[in-house]
Structure 1
Amino acid sequence: MFDELALAILLLLGGGAAMVILVVGLQMTALADRIADRTGLGEAVVGGVLLGAATSFSGTAVSFTAALDGRASLAFSNGIGGIAAQTAFLAIADIVYRRANLEHAAAELANVFQCGVLLVLLAIPIAAVTAPEIAVFGVHPASFLLVVVYAFGVAATARIREKPMWHPVQTDETRADEPEDGDTPDNPARWLILGFLFLMAVLGAAGWVISQVGAQLVDRLEISASLVGALVTAVITSLPELVTTIAAIRRGALQLAIGGIIGGNTFDTLFLTISDIGYRDGSIYHAVGPQDLFWLATGMLMTTILMLGLIFRQKKGPGSIGLESVVLLCIYALAIAVQAVSASS
């Protein structure tokens, strides 16, 4: 169906899907904040698990659809490229929050722990690429391991939220998680959750449209699938993270803002599991190229910088933002430049 459409129509469809993702992402932030208060789970846990997974739903559709079509590089780079883009979005959010360095004000142990879990998850695909090409029912064992580690990370994050073994030092700039009037654990959250699930379905549909447009761009313009995946579909499907992060900051839900980004990144690693299941020509880890692995290394580097920033908790750096935010933006800009040169050579 999409291969019969004119390029201008394809771009309009892609732009329309991007707008849907933006609007839906904004609505999901308010619901997630209220669900965090009513369930008593806290902004960091709900942001890292529920909001992170939900805002990544459109990207899931892109990777799975691309894998079904045999486009291994597009499926892989869409998920991994989204991790780098979303981490850069957090630096943009730090610019928006003018009172202090965002990583300082939103001190939360759960977010630091999630960064560690994310680094473990990103290391697993590297091991899979360098290991022998084996498969169980057509799926590499590393894909199953990603799900196990992710589930452990979610459970451990919830436990840390309930029984933390250390607390961040409270300063004048630290913003605590405070529920709004009426949003307490005494009030049920079932209708909020149902509305949240509906918005997730809308994101999935928009993601499917984005995947089809991205595939057509690769074929018609003869652009590198890795470039389209990491810098086009990944960025577009990551827009909910940018919108929800800025919206959360405007609501004063700073832990939700950071937790949503890190949780979305953690969930994005499961794109590889979904892609490996959809890719029927063998292990997807052995069907990707150096450009895809480049974004994997970029994601690991940016996550490490973010985690160090969360631990160091600098109050203010260059331009009243954290030094880690400056470094993150520089790394992402450099990665884009390197990818563009590689794709053109």
Structure 2
Amino acid sequence: MVYGIFIAAAFVVIMGAIYLNRFGDVISRKSALSGAAVGTFLIAGATSLPELTTSFTAVYIDNTDIAVGNMLGSNVFNLLIIASMDVVYRRKKLFQHASARDNVPTALIGLLFTLIIIIALINPGSIELFNVGVEMVLIFVMYAVYIKLSNSSEEEKEEEQVDKDYNLKTAIYGFIGASVVVFVAGSALSISGDRLATITGMNSSFVGSFLIAAATSLPEFVAVLAAIKMANYNMAIGSILGSNLFNLQILFLTDVMYQDSAILKAVHTSNMYIAILCVFMIVVVMFNLLRTKGTGNTWMYAAPSLLVTLVYFVVSYTIF
């Protein structure tokens, strides 16, 4: 019964998030919110809503490992999506057609944030501000500054796209409806995941970091696949890196909700291994973006991404 609920909730979350992304895109293009930065924020919020509801529900049922593991695991799974797509579509050489100037700064910020989280996990006796870890406050403030600086230096670029399926009013109602669906399904996903961990004896960190994280990250997989099909490799990579930064802001909000202490004090040490895996994967992404472009063997080109994919599954098996 628990397995059925978990699978059904995961399916509903995936479908709901796909429609959130679709309606959010229409709203960002057909309303006063059509600026590039605001539109990106709206879409990022839409695709991250499954992680938000899942982690908030995990805090409510007092399962901090699922709450934190879901966020870190989603970031890792997002990077796995890019790596696996780079292997599958190795002839297209995704990273050699993406802009290092646009994507490396975002990757660097994500790397810095993840290192801060690792330090907090290694040293759980961190300073707290109103029961929120100072490291999470630092990440939130740095993200706000990064967004401000990015917006001030970014030129507005609008693409004229006409959506024939939805008008603005329909998109707004659809976005609200899909949000409610994702909220309910994400809550069911957390509760059933918690029960699944109890019944099977699996580590809650594993359930949060891999099973639930994979389910809530599948909408990003659909979005990346669509971008690759359109040969927009910059968008494929940039959307994943940007989504990962946004996910860490959800972790800050999760810490605010968890009022017993700083949330990183209350989680299993296995979450640190997920964060370290994330650092490794970000470094490889940066390497792929910065390395000299060549026309060699496609398998040689895809070797770093293949390594990332293999390491992901080895770590998954080890934690399990």
Fold shared, TM-score > 0.5 on shorter chain: yes
**Structure 2 partner of 1:227:** 206
State the distance in 1 between where 2:28 and 2:101 align. Answer: 16
Bigger mean CA deviation after superposition, 296-305 or 134-143: 134-143
**Structure 2 partner of 1:238:** 217
Secondary structure of 2:128's counterpart equals coil
1:55-70 mapped onto 2 (5 Å cutoff): 55-70=47-62
Residue among 201, 207, 211 paired with 2:190 = 211
What's the CA shift for 1:282? Answer: 1.6
What's the CA shift for 1:321? Answer: 5.5
Provide the TM-score with structure 1 as the length reference: 0.78
Superposition RMSD in Å:
3.0
**Structure 2 partner of 1:322:** 302
**Structure 2 partner of 1:41:** 36
1:155-194 mapped onto 2 (5 Å cutoff): 155-162=148-155, 179=159, 181-182=161-162
**Structure 1 partner of 2:316:** 336
What's the CA shift for 1:338? Answer: 2.3
Secondary structure of 2:154's counterpart equals helix
**Structure 2 partner of 1:296:** 275
The answer to whether the 8 Å contact 1:108/1:255 transfers is no
Residue among 12, 22, 31 paired with 1:20 = 12
The answer to whether the 8 Å contact 1:100/1:315 transfers is no
CA 1:330–1:98 in structure 2 vs 1: closer, same or farther (change >3 Å)?
A: closer
Bigger mean CA deviation after superposition, 224-233 or 192-201: 192-201
What's the CA shift for 1:182? Answer: 3.9
Counterpart of 2:276, as a letter, is A
CA 1:114–1:195 in structure 2 vs 1: closer, same or farther (change >3 Å)?
A: farther
The answer to whether the 8 Å contact 2:126/2:134 transfers is no
The answer to whether the 8 Å contact 1:52/1:264 transfers is yes
CA 1:254–1:232 in structure 2 vs 1: closer, same or farther (change >3 Å)?
A: same
State the distance in 1 between where 2:224 and 2:141 align. Answer: 27
What's the CA shift for 1:84? Answer: 0.9
**Structure 2 partner of 1:153:** 146
The answer to whether the 8 Å contact 2:29/2:39 transfers is no
In the TM superposition, what whole-angstrom CA distance separates every residue of 1:87-146 from its partner, at most 9, and x where no partner exists? 001122224546521122232633222111111211222333326343222222222222
Residue among 286, 292, 295 paired with 2:265 = 286
Secondary structure of 2:281's counterpart equals helix
State the distance in 2 between where 1:118 and 1:194 align. Answer: 33
Secondary structure of 1:148's counterpart equals helix
The answer to whether the 8 Å contact 1:58/1:205 transfers is no
CA 1:25–1:93 in structure 2 vs 1: closer, same or farther (change >3 Å)?
A: farther
CA 1:324–1:268 in structure 2 vs 1: closer, same or farther (change >3 Å)?
A: same
Secondary structure of 1:271's counterpart equals helix
Counterpart of 2:132, as a letter, is V
**Structure 2 partner of 1:3:** none
Say if 2:119 is the partner of 1:139. Answer: no
**Would you say how many aligned residue pairs link Structure 1 and Structure 2?**
312
Identity score, percent: 27
- The structure that is helix-richer by fraction is 2
Gaps of 5+ in 2: none
Gaps of 5+ in 1: 1-8, 164-176, 341-345
What's the CA shift for 1:226? Answer: 0.9
**Structure 2 partner of 1:277:** 256
CA 1:196–1:115 in structure 2 vs 1: closer, same or farther (change >3 Å)?
A: farther
The answer to whether the 8 Å contact 2:50/2:186 transfers is yes
Secondary structure of 1:245's counterpart equals helix
What's the CA shift for 1:247? Answer: 2.0
**Structure 2 partner of 1:199:** 178
**Structure 1 partner of 2:247:** 268
Counterpart of 2:13, as a letter, is I
CA 1:46–1:55 in structure 2 vs 1: closer, same or farther (change >3 Å)?
A: same
